[in-house]
């Protein structure tokens, strides 16, 4: 997909919430940005301000340089309204803005969530529906979103273009502070009674509404349901006992009037926190925000403070239910249990740092005590959802448990948890473990990626929302030093904390969730009862109004909208020239090495690529599993725990992945291999390479129990990914018969792979699998067909290369291949028309159609790319999402040479396939404007010109052989596309029978695919 659709999420608790700033997790690091000589000027300018200075209606409260993060924080307060403001000056052109409000509902009607939706239905200055979605096509934004958490609602965006920043700022501010909030918008987004068929007053009256349906869908996820129960029951006395997203049965109690009142009292400057970040001048932001918003308000007392939770005298236990999971590998193992502890308040920043640190020690990775006692014991499939530290509520919490266990094992898990705490209190943590976590903090501060500004506000918002000082929260080194001192003063310091927070804590809750056969039926009956009660109360007059409102809403939705009020960038604002990246190619002992000098801030990034050229076909399906386990089994004299420990202590992790790319100039040729990737502080580079040396030369491939643990985790991840990424699986299915590389992607990452992994997970004995993995290793773990890349600072590059040289000398095999790519031409591949239905017990479908098209360097490729975007935004979105009721849809021109259509969480199937066809007719008719084409170009360029972190520079060339010259040519092709060329390519590639076409979908039983004439092949293997 070229651009992910805006997803408005309701965040509850964050899984793996080691989110307190500075403690990285493998699943999501806090990001950093580029640095350059300009850094000084951006920072010194704001450092001239002093507390007490007045500026554009604001008073400066603090100016604090934080050298370890290369930034200066400025905290301000708005004089007239009391609005709080945090500016982070940093030499990063990916500027961020966000406004957040403390939204603390006292019921489960979902009022903050429905409000978040309704504010995006048009505002005073921009009276059009869904301005965020529309701005996607008029902007070069690098991020746009809005979300409702348990106690705040936040509206952030980022962009690298200064004009775009002001455009988006204006749209965001107007949406948040001056939304129209019309009753029809509330009915559309929140809830309404409406006839099932809104044109027919004799059809039954049912509940409708975007949030109503969204929450019904969300609560079908057992993990989400578990998270909601967890929070509601652990903090029962105030706002956290309610569901801020909305309980489907409570949503219909919300009135339009209540929604407007909630907006007036909560979306008010006196209850707001503004944030800006980057290299744009702070003064201009203050001036605009003061002028556009703050001058129009007076101060109020929002009274949104959340009191601390009253502590319990004794532990509690709750038992809740969910629907059985039809996809579960073992139906007997569907119980989840977690033990939860309420900790200190998150506004105590050092204590929060400490608790998230201890949580990392306890649960993170194979050397952690809970990993050893719970995961390695093979009782369940994985940790329970929300395991770890959680700092997203005013009082923090810690959760530990297992999912996918047998009911009979509940007591055993409880015992193991108690026992593990006892052992930790007794023996403490190894000093190497503590060093490893400190090392990860250091690495995360230095590692620079592209979303640093957004990372900061996401990690600050929860504690700032409760009036913690956001600046202190950023001072990671202060906390680290205090921590080291405490440990020096008292070596048993951590053990005492564990005793205090876990052993002696009576605010403790056991939560058990088990499936119940009639859970779904009961939920439906409860909704039906609520509905009949409400319908019974309707007078004849009310009923007439229900019908009329339904008609009015339908009419409103079909209206052509006037978007002229929305600001837009122009295509001429985009630079015609690509920003080029310099790198050198060299050869070390027969291995080609790419060196790219970047301001990497003391970290060296290594990538390797080992070709699968010699691998026999029957071993191909094992490659993803091989990549997933080979760095996690142990190597040389190291057990898997010891290897993981060395990784955390000396590196940013060692990773291996499947590599499949189409050759940029031929749809029938491709490269297949595995990638290696790792990074380390410059000083640790020798240790990093020595770990790779052990893995290449002496991997431990004998521990079948360990393999079985890893297989189960990976199979359950894959099964879970089906519902979230069903469209990606459908697209892979619809492409697999069209190009050789797409066929391999299906085999190694599509439904074929899911079925394959399910089969392996069901095997009791891992012996045969281990044998296959050993064969894969013998083909891939050598330097015979290898190339490498190093991204490092100019000062360190030559040292890095000599370390690489020593490493390569240790590898088996004879290098001597000097090809830039290991391109393989598929012989005998003939594209064919296939139709595949992957039958799965979902309530919705994921549809896709693929059409064989052209490779990256073909002159039609950029035109097809623009066409795909145009069709997505101007046709498919309306037909499949707005009219069809699917969550998402689109088209894309992929680098696998296939033009693809898709839909996401789609109630339809045959209609959607027809819409795909109609979009082609629409494209050929040319019934769109120059503005429409320009919007498609802007949208493509915002992806093409997105920020690239120093660690990732020149990776496009390394991985796919696409040079800057080719990218410049592509760029010119994108600019050149016009209506005639769009019509031409639509005719040449997309009309029926022009090229080979295939279709695939994921979804439940379907009469369409059962019709023999359709030629569908039905697969039930993955169920």
Closer residue to Zn ion (CB): 248 or 608: 248
At its nearest, how many Å lie between Zn ion and the CB of residue 147? 8
Binding mask 169-208 for Zn ion (x = CB under 5 A): ----------------------------------------
Stretch that binds Zn ion, among 2-10, 446-454, 466-474, 839-847 (CB under 5 A): 2-10
Nearer to Zn ion, 189 or 906 (CB): 189
Contacts (Cβ under 8 Å, ≥6 apart) of 271: 101, 102, 265, 300, 302, 304
Task: Provide the token pair at 414.
Answer: 């409880």
H helical segments located in 661-762: 685-697, 704-724, 726-735, 740-749, 751-762
**Token code pair at residue 623:** 């490659």
**Can residue 133 be called a binding residue for Zn ion (CB under 5 A)?**
no
**Closer residue to Zn ion in complex, CB, 8/45:** 8
Task: In angstroms, give the least distance from the CB of 146 to Zn ion.
Answer: 9
Distance CA 645, CA 651 (A): 10
How far apart (Å, rounded) are the C-alpha atoms in residues 566 and 162? 17
Query: Exposure pattern of 873-896 as b/e (b: 16+ CB <10 Å)?
Result: bbbbbbbbbeebebbbbbbbbbeb
Q: How far apart are CA 944 and CA 893, in angstroms?
A: 14
Both tokens of 487, joined, read 């440990």
**Contact positions with Zn ion (CB under 5 A) in 749-808:** none
Residue of 82, 87, 51 whose CA lies nearest to 66: 87
Rg (CA), the chain: 28
Q: Which stretch binds Zn ion (CB under 5 A): 5-13, 167-175, 853-861, 908-916?
A: 5-13
Residues 36-55 that bind Zn ion (CB under 5 A): none
Shortest distance (Å) from residue 118 CB to Zn ion: 11
Binding part of the chain for Zn ion, among 3-11, 591-599, 923-931, 954-962 by CB under 5 A, reads 3-11
Cα–Cα distance measured from residue 628 to residue 748, given in angstroms and rounded to the nearest whole number: 12
Decide whether 215 or 773 has the Cβ nearer to Zn ion: 215
Here the tokens at position 481 are: 């030093």
Instruction: Using the minimum distance from each CB to Zn ion, give the nearer residue, 8 or 918.
Output: 8
Residues 206-235 that bind Zn ion (CB under 5 A): 214
Tokens of 782: 């050598």
Residue 893 structure tokens = 């021109």
d(CA 403, CA 380): 6
Q: Which residue is nearest to Zn ion (CB)?
A: 8
Q: x/- site string to Zn ion, residues 675 to 704, per CB under 5 A?
A: ------------------------------
Q: Report yes or no: 794 and 599 within 8 Å, Cβ to Cβ.
A: no
Nearest-approach distance from CB 528 to Zn ion, in angstroms? 24
Using the minimum distance from each CB to Zn ion, give the nearer residue, 210 or 619.
210
804 close to 790: Cβ distance less than 8 angstroms: yes
Min dist. Cβ of residue 103 to Zn ion (A): 13
Residue 259 CB, shortest distance to Zn ion, in Å, is: 14
Q: Please tell me what DSSP assigns to residue 312.
A: P
Stretch that binds Zn ion, among 8-16, 30-38, 448-456, 477-485 (CB under 5 A): 8-16
Verify binding: residue 478, Zn ion, rule CB under 5 A. Answer: no
8 vs 824 by CB, closer to Zn ion: 8
- Specify the residue, 262 or 692, whose C-beta has the smaller distance to Zn ion: 262
Q: Give the integer Cα–Cα distance in Å for 953 and 961.
A: 13
What residues does 673 pair with on adjacent strands? 611, 659
850 beta partners: 900, 998
CB of 211 to Zn ion, least distance (A): 6
- Output the CA–CA distances (angstroms, integers) from residue 486 to 129, 348, 350, 392, 432, in the order listed: 55, 16, 12, 26, 17
- Cβ closest to Zn ion, residue 10 vs residue 598: 10
- For residues 789 and 659, what is the distance between their CA atoms, to the nearest angstrom? 15
List the one residue out of 458, 460, 457, 394 whose CA is nearest residue 151: 394
- How many helices (H) and strands (E) are present in the chain, helices listed first? 35, 30
* 113 vs 229 by CB, closer to Zn ion: 113
Assigned token pair, 106: 């006292």
Residues 34, 39: Cα–Cα separation, whole Å: 9
Q: Taking the complex as a whole, how short is the minimal distance between the CB of residue 8 and Zn ion, in angstroms?
A: 4
For the CB of residue 523, give the shortest distance to Zn ion in the complex, in Å. 20
Residue 954, both tokens: 């020149």
Are the beta carbons of 789 and 801 closer than 8 angstroms?
no
Give the residue among 954, 692, 682, 698 at the shortest CA–CA distance from 808.
692
| CA-to-CA separations, 791 to 28, 239, 604, 655, 953, in angstroms, rounded | 21, 48, 6, 16, 8
Q: How far is CA 664 from the centre of its chain?
A: 28
Of 3, 8, 45, 333, the residue at the interface with Zn ion (CB under 5 A) is 8
CB neighbour class for 509 (10 Å; exposed up to 12, middle 13-18, buried from 19): buried
Choose the stretch contacting Zn ion; rule: CB under 5 A; options: 7-15, 288-296, 429-437, 483-491.
Answer: 7-15
Question: CB of 592: closest distance to Zn ion in angstroms?
Answer: 49
- C-beta of 7: minimal distance to Zn ion in Å? 9
| From 1-9, 84-92, 93-101, 557-565, span contacting Zn ion (CB under 5 A) | 1-9
Q: Which helix (H) or strand (E) holds 867?
A: helix 860-871
Nearer to Zn ion, 219 or 938 (CB): 219
* Continuous H helices in 179-338: 183-189, 210-218, 222-234, 256-266, 282-292
Q: For residue 471, what is the enclosing H or E element? A: helix 470-474
Q: CA of 208: how far to CAs of 182, 857, 877, in Å?
A: 17, 47, 20
Residue the block writes with tokens 């290991």: 822
Question: What letter does residue 681 receive in the DSSP assignment?
Answer: E
Question: Which is closer to Zn ion, CB of 7 or CB of 536?
Answer: 7
Q: Which of residues 61-100 bind Zn ion (CB under 5 A)?
A: none
To the nearest whole angstrom, how small is the minimum distance from the Cβ of residue 113 to Zn ion?
Answer: 6
Please give the positions annotated as active site: 116
CA distance 377 to 372: 7
Closer to Zn ion at the Cβ: 22 or 245? 245
Query: By rule CB under 5 A, what count of residues binds Zn ion?
Result: 2
Residue 238 beta carbon to Zn ion: minimum distance, rounded to whole angstroms = 23
Applying CB under 5 A, the residues found at the interface with Zn ion are 8, 214
């Amino acid at each position: 997909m070229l651009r992910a659709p805006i997803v408005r999420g309701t965040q509850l608790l964050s899984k793996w919430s080691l989110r307190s700033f500075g403690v990285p997790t493998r699943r999501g690091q806090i990001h950093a940005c580029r640095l350059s000589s300009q850094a000084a000027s951006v920072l010194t300018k704001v450092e001239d301000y002093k507390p007490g200075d007045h500026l554009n209606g604001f008073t400066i409260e603090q100016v604090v340089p934080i050298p370890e993060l290369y930034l200066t924080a400025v905290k301000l307060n708005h004089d007239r309204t009391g609005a709080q403001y945090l500016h982070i000056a940093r030499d990063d052109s990916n500027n961020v803005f966000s406004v957040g409000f403390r939204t603390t509902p006292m019921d489960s009607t979902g009022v903050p969530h429905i409000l978040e939706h309704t504010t995006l239905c048009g505002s005073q200055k921009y009276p059009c529906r869904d301005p965020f979605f529309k701005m996607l096509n008029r902007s070069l934004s690098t991020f746009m979103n809005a979300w409702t958490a348990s106690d705040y609602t936040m509206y952030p965006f980022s962009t690298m273009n200064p004009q775009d920043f002001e455009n988006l700022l204006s749209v965001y501010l107007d949406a948040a502070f001056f939304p129209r909030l019309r009753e029809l918008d509330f009915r559309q987004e929140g809830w309404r009674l409406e006839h099932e068929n809104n044109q027919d007053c004799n059809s039954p009256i049912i509940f409708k509404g975007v949030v109503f349906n969204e929450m019904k869908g969300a609560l079908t996820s057992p993990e989400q349901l578990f998270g909601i129960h967890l929070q509601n029951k652990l903090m029962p006395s105030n706002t956290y006992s309610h569901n801020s997203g909305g309980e489907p049965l409570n949503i219909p109690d919300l009135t339009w009037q209540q929604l407007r009142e909630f907006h007036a009292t909560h979306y008010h400057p006196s209850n707001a926190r503004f944030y800006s970040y980057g290299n744009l001048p702070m003064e201009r932001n203050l001036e605009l925000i003061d002028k556009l918003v703050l001058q129009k308000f007076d101060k109020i007392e929002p009274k949104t403070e959340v009191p601390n939770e009253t502590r319990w005298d004794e532990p509690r236990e709750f038992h809740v239910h969910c629907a059985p999971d039809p996809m579960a590998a073992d139906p007997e193992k569907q119980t989840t249990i977690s033990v939860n502890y309420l900790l200190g308040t998150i506004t105590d920043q050092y204590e929060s740092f400490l608790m998230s640190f201890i949580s990392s020690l306890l649960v993170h990775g194979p050397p952690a005590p809970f990993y050893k006692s719970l995961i390695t014991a093979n009782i369940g499939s994985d940790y329970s959802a929300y395991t770890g530290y959680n700092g997203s509520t005013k009082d923090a919490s810690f959760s530990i448990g297992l999912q996918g266990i047998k009911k009979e094992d509940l007591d055993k898990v409880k015992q193991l948890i108690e026992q593990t705490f006892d052992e930790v209190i007794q023996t403490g943590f190894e000093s190497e473990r503590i060093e490893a976590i400190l090392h990860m903090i250091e690495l995360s501060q230095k590692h620079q990626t592209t979303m640093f500004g957004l990372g900061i506000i996401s990690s600050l918002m929860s504690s700032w929302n409760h009036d913690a000082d956001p600046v202190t929260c950023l001072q990671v080194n202060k906390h680290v030093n205090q921590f080291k001192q405490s440990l020096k003063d008292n070596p048993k310091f951590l053990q005492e904390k564990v005793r205090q927070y876990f052993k002696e804590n009576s605010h403790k809750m056991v939560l058990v969730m088990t499936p119940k056969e009639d859970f779904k039926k009961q939920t439906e009956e409860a909704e039906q009862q609520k509905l009949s009660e409400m319908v019974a109360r309707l007078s004849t007059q009310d009923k007439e109004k229900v019908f009329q409102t339904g008609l009015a809403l339908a009419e409103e939705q079909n209206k052509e909208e006037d978007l002229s009020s929305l600001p837009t960038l122009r295509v001429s604002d985009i630079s015609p020239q690509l920003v080029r990246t310099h790198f050198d190619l060299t050869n070390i002992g027969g291995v080609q090495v790419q060196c790219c000098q970047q301001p990497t801030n003391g970290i060296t990034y290594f990538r390797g690529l080992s070709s699968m050229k010699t691998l026999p076909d029957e071993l191909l399906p094992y490659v993803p599993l091989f990549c997933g386990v080979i760095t996690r089994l142990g190597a040389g004299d190291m057990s898997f725990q010891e290897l993981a420990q060395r990784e955390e202590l000396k590196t940013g992790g060692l990773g291996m992945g499947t590599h499949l790319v189409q050759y940029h100039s031929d749809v029938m040729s491709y490269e297949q291999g595995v990638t290696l990737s790792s990074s380390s502080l410059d000083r640790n580079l020798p240790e990093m390479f020595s770990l790779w040396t052990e893995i290449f030369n002496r991997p431990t491939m004998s521990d079948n129990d360990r393999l079985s643990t890893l297989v189960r985790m990976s199979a359950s991840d894959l099964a879970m990914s089906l519902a979230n990424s069903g469209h990606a699986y459908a697209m892979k299915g619809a492409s697999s018969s069209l190009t050789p590389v797409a066929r391999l992607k299906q085999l190694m990452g599509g439904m074929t792979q899911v079925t394959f992994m399910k089969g392996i997970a069901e095997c009791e004995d891992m012996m045969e699998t281990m044998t296959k993995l050993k064969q894969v290793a013998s083909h891939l773990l050598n330097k015979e067909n290898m190339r490498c890349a190093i991204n490092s600072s100019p000062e360190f590059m030559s040292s890095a290369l000599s370390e690489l040289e020593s490493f390569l000398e240790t590898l088996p095999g004879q290098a001597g291949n000097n090809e830039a790519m290991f391109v393989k031409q598929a012989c005998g591949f003939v594209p064919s028309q296939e139709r595949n239905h992957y039958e799965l017990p979902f309530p919705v479908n994921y549809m896709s159609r693929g059409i064989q098209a052209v490779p990256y360097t073909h002159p039609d490729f950029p035109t097809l790319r623009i066409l795909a975007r145009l069709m997505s935004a101007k046709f498919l979105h309306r037909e499949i999402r707005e009219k069809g009721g699917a969550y998402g849809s689109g088209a894309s021109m992929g680098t696998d040479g296939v033009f693809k259509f898709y839909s996401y969480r789609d109630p339809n199937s045959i209609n959607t396939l027809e819409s795909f066809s109609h979009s082609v007719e629409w494209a050929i008719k040319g019934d769109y404007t120059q503005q429409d084409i320009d919007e498609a170009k802007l949208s493509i360029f915002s992806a093409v010109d997105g920020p690239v972190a120093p660690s990732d520079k020149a990776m496009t060339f390394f991985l796919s052989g696409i040079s800057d010259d080719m990218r410049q040519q592509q760029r010119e092709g994108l600019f050149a596309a016009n209506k005639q060329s769009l019509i031409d390519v639509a005719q040449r590639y997309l009309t029926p029978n022009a090229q080979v076409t295939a279709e695939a979908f994921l979804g439940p039983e379907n009469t369409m695919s059962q019709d023999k004439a359709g030629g569908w092949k039905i697969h039930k293997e993955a169920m």
